[in-house]
Amino acid sequence: MARGGWFRRPLRNGNRPAPVPGDLWTKCPRCGEISFTRDLERNLKVCPKCGYHHKLTARERIQMTVDPDSFEEIDAGVCSLDPLGFPEYAEKLMRAQQATGLCDAIVTGYARIEGYPLLLAAADFAFMGGSMGGALGEKVVRMMERAVRERLPVVVFTANGGGARMQEGLFSLMQMAKTSAGVALLHREAVPYIVVLTDPTMAGVYASFASLGDIILAEPGATIGFAGRRVGNQDLGVKLPDDFQTAEFQQRCGMVDRVVPRREMRGTLALLLGLLAEERAHAE
Amino acid sequence: MLNNPLDFEKDIAELDALIAELKQMGRDPSVRADAAQKGIDIEARIAEVEAAREERLRQIFANLTPWNQVQMARHPQRPYTLDYIRMLCDDFFELYGDRINADDPAIVGGLARFQGRPVVVLGHQKGRDLKERQQRNFGSARPAGFRKALRLMKLAEKFRKPLIIFVDTPAAEANLMAEEEGISTTIAVNLREMIMLRVPIVVAVIGEGGSGGALGIAVGDRVLMLEHAIYSVIPPEGCAAILWKDRNRAAEAAEALKLTARHALEFGLVDAIVPEPIGGAHRDPQAMAATLKAAIAEHLSALLALSPDALTQARYAKFRQMGRWQELPAVHPEVEALET
Ligand SMILES: [Zn+2]
């Protein structure tokens, strides 16, 4: 398949992070190191001193991960509604849309990684904590159904600290079933599904499509867990391990295959796509 | 009579006490004689108070707030899963264990007969007294519980038995051990597996439908909710803590979350409401069981007419369409602005 010939729509590459004046310097929240933002970006937003992986926007993630100009966004106009008339939700949604330039907390589309075609989703923590409402669920399922129709592997980068978005009430809880239904299709049709858990991935998202990957990778130090430290009803007298609910903790518990530094992520994904896709080609 | 009535049940409890007192008097020959002499008809007086009680009950339950519904769903006298299994099924044979390393008493289940037909039943189980509550972890299942549930579902699929599932949990367990044992993963696996399960699944939310812990066994072809059950993405206390940093504003959060059966039905997220006896299931468990049995039987017989393929396709479509969103014809203006 010739590069580009595979796409049916013009490329819409919105990957560039908007330059914000005053963001010349960035302070590392872990070690306090102050770096030139531009240098930090060249280092994939990983602290040169302590290795802290700064949060990325969805568009930064896509730009860092996929082949140049290979990303073609789908379903970009799918937006959340306020089905409960929940206090302050409409305003919060609007502010999040203005701040991020996104309709909701996830971006989906076609992409290539070292030539391998795939469908990719990247969540955005900056959009209401990356919480999962009706729009996110719909976009994830549409992408998975498309992956089954077109037999393309799926890679999902999570960054959903908010879990299910409580402002959409029971509708958002049902997105756990809905997105897992999408995974059930991938599962039944043996379409490869790779999840990369990034900081933070919690609750309703972690307890649905995010923990159902055939392969699950995580970024170093990412917060990953079911209920937040504050929310969880920790038993009195139980001392939590220092790395509780981190990528490393989840790997130790058998929930994550590999903790992969950002610098190695693209290569790792390409390797896996090759191994999984070729296996299938031989079988067919 | 209830041992510890809810605030809004207090009037009823007082009237109940009065009725009991009158009946006690009625049984005492000397008191009866005394009353007759004074021209007091104790039987008539009892009937009067009972009528007043019925009227008051109707008034109270016509005007329950969402928070009252939360209290009802958590009512300590409410029938639990094992109560319903005993009242609805015959030949119940309980099965134990997740076949990995544990049995979680917060989820119970086994083989049984429903209207003569062999089925697999399972559900969350809360405890009745303090000791049993602790033993059953207040109905909060650990990973072993969700694995046990899945094991029973697979058993049902293997032998083509319909599943009847009762939901009643505040939430899934979230402590260190649950996290270590992969609580998120076990719930997610259940969601994925239930969608493709090739037997009919009827779910009844009988009390608390507490977020992921409830949904982890609730992906059914039909989801019924008892009139005073709740189903919520987050406990109202937790919602209030996040929104307003104040757990005491749970009543407001309950209102905002629209977690009642009426709302869930209106939203198309459950299929039917099963009416409760006036005053709630705990006031007449037998009547409640009869109504629930009829409702389950009706839905089950419709599902039994479908092929396994038709079942799973319909179940996929049912959960696939949940959620509300809008699709803007063009990309959001801000997105365009960023790109140019
Ligand atoms: Zn640092």
CATH code for the domain of A140: 3.90.226.10
d(CA B194, CA B216): 9
One domain, residues A44 and A62: no
Domain end among A13, A29, A54: A54
Asked if pLDDT for residue A11 goes beyond 50, the answer is no
Q: What is the DSSP letter of A234?
A: P
Residue A166 to residue B239, Cβ atoms within 8 A: yes
Asked if residue A261 has a cis previous peptide bond (ω within 30° of 0), the answer is no
Of B259, B322, B328, the CB nearest to A174: B322
Are A80 and A33 found together in one domain? no
pLDDT tens-digit series, residues A43-101: 999 999 999 999 999 999 999 999 999 999 999 999 999 999 999 999 999 999 999 99
Contact assessment for residue A160 and residue A205, using Cβ atoms and an 8 Å cutoff:
yes
pLDDT of residue A19: 47
Domain ranges across chain B: 7-63, 71-320
Please give the interface size between A and B, counted as residue pairs whose CB atoms are below 8 Å apart.
Answer: 216
Q: Are residues A166 and A271 in the same domain?
A: yes
How close does chain B come to A231, measured CA to CA in Å?
A: 7
How far apart, in whole angstroms, are the C-alpha atoms of residue A156 and residue A111?
Answer: 12
The tens digit of pLDDT for each residue in B171-203 reads: 999 999 999 999 999 999 999 999 999 999 999
Structural tokens at position A84: 């409960």
ipTM of model? 0.92
CA distance A20 to A104: 21
Q: Which range of residues forms the domain containing residue A63?
A: 56-283
Q: Are residues A268 and A195 in the same domain?
A: yes
Q: Does B118 touch chain A (CB under 8 A)?
A: no
Confidence band, pLDDT 50/70/90 cuts, at residue A199: very high
| A62 and A37 part of one domain | no
Verify that A146 and A50 share a domain, yes or no.
Answer: no
Name the pairing type of β-strands A72-74 and A106-113. Answer: antiparallel
A231 and A99 within one domain: yes
B35 exposed, middle or buried (CB, 10 Å; 0-12, 13-18, 19+)?
middle
Identify the pLDDT of residue A233: 54
CB contact under 8 A, A14 and B174: no
Opening angle at CA B256, ends B253 and B260, nearest 5: 95
Residue segments in chain B with a per-residue pLDDT below the cut of 50: 1, 332-333, 335-340
Average the pLDDT over each of A6-20, A122-136, B76-90, B156-170 and give the range with the smallest value: A6-20
The CATH fold assigned to B71-320 is: 2-enoyl-CoA Hydratase; Chain A, domain 1 (3.90.226)
By CA distance, what is A207's nearest residue in B?
B184
Q: CB-CB: which of A97, A183, A253 is closest to B182? A: A253
> What is the predicted pLDDT for the residue at A3?
31
The confidence score (pLDDT) of residue B92 equals 98
Residue A154 lies in a domain: yes
CA-nearest of A159, A168, A111, A113 to A138 is A168
Using the Cβ of B59 and the Cβ atoms of chain A, whether some distance falls under 8 Å is answered with no
Do A142 and A32 share a structural domain?
Answer: no
Who among A12, A231, A255 is closest to B182 (CB)?
Answer: A255
**Same structural domain, A184 and A100:** yes
Q: Binning pLDDT at 50, 70 and 90, where does residue A237 land?
A: low
Helices (H), ranges, A151-202: 169-188
Pair A26, A139 in one domain: no
Nearest to B126 by CA among B135, B140, B139: B139
Pair A121, A262 in one domain: yes
A5: in domain? no
Task: Please report the pLDDT score of residue B144 as a whole number.
Answer: 98
Higher pLDDT, A282 or B321: B321
How far apart (Å, rounded) are the C-alpha atoms in residues A105 and A96? 9
Instruction: Look at residue A14 in the predicted model and tell me its pLDDT.
Output: 43
Domain count for chain A: 2
Q: Which residues of A, range 200-229, sit inside 8 Å of B by Cβ?
A: 203-204, 206-212, 225-227
For A189, other C-beta atoms within 10 Å of its C-beta total 12
How buried is residue A91: exposed, middle or buried, by Cβ count under 10 Å (0-12/13-18/19+)?
exposed
In sequence order, the β-bridge partners of residue A219 are: none
Cβ contact, residue pair B188, A83, below 8 Å: no
A160 and A128 fall within a common domain? yes
CA dist., res. B233 & res. B259, Å (int): 8
**Per residue in A211-231, pLDDT tens?**
999 999 999 999 999 986 554
Q: Are A166 and B233 a contacting pair at CB < 8 A?
A: yes
What pLDDT, on a 0 to 100 scale, did the predictor assign at position A8?
30
Residues of A in contact with B262 (CB under 8 A): none
Report yes or no: A61 and A130 within 8 Å, Cβ to Cβ. no
Please give the pLDDT value at position B11.
Answer: 86
Q: What is the mean pLDDT of residues A110-137?
A: 96
Q: Considering only residues 26 to 55 of chain A, which have any Cβ-Cβ distance to chain B shorter than 8 Å? A: none
Distance (Å) from CA A247 to ligand 1 centroid: 17
